[in-house]
Amino acid sequence: MLESLKEEVFQANLELKRQNVVIYTWGNVSGITEDRKYMVIKPSGIAYEKMKAEDMVVVELETGKVADGKWNPSSDTETHLVLYRHFPSLCGVVHTHSTYAVSFAQAGKAIKALGTTHADYFYGDIPCTRALREEEVKEAYERNTGNVIVECIEELKLDPLAVPGIIVKNHGPFAYGNSPAKAVENAVVLEKAAEMAFRTLLLNPNASMEQYILDKHYFRKHGKNAYYGQKSQ
């Protein structure tokens, strides 16, 4: 069932390992079918070195029930489902515990847009959600993690493809995109942007970037007037 998407999600998960943003069994990538009826996600607790495409788990988007697979899906499955249900533009979701992004999450601080590397991928600060309340942790924790992400995105009136990542306070980063591969790319860049911001703020706690620089670098790669790269790509 959904062998092509399983392979796509499998390769995306391996890319997290190749890019050194996960260790052991940390992290997960998911993808969704074109009809948005099924999500494919990494199995829970299976080492990347032992994992195969056939190990990916198919989950019904509406019910959260496993439709195909011999393993339990990722423990973060409910978070992924919430994001897909709320944002139809998302076709891939990634969660990691990458070092610098988690550092910002533990500090409860947004990753500020301080330079053009950040601006090439994220149109503004990468926000940090509020902390989950005690009752939200005790009951339906993973679902409520998704809910606070949605809450934050909607309160800030963000386009999740224009700012394709967020950090959950005390937890870590989630990234998303129009495919599993793009979501992984955004997750890797989010971690690098967090590292650059961390180092920048050590040198200059008052560092900032002008809006016109953010605009130039983001829109030269995104939107109808973008001119970065080759037209044939």
| Residue 233 reports pLDDT greater than 60 | no
d(CA 183, CA 17): 14
pLDDT, one tens digit per residue, over 188-206 is 999 999 999 999 999 999 9
pTM, rounded to two decimals: 0.95
d(CA 132, CA 144): 8
Please tell me which residue in 24, 159, 215, 228 is annotated as part of the active site.
228
Residue 172, sorted as left (phi over 0), alpha (psi -120 to 50) or beta, turns out to be: left
Distances (CA, A) of 78 to 60, 61, 142: 11, 10, 5
pLDDT (average), residues 68-97 = 97
Check if 120 is active-site. yes
Structure confidence at residue 215 (pLDDT): 97
Average pLDDT score over the chain:
97
Q: What domains appear along the chain, each with residue ranges and CATH number?
A: 3-219 (3.40.225.10)
- C-beta neighbour count of 219 within 10 angstroms: 16
| Phi/psi of residue 138, nearest 5 degrees | -70, -30
Structure confidence at residue 231 (pLDDT): 76
Check if 228 is active-site. yes
Please tell me which residue in 55, 68, 120, 141 is annotated as part of the active site.
120
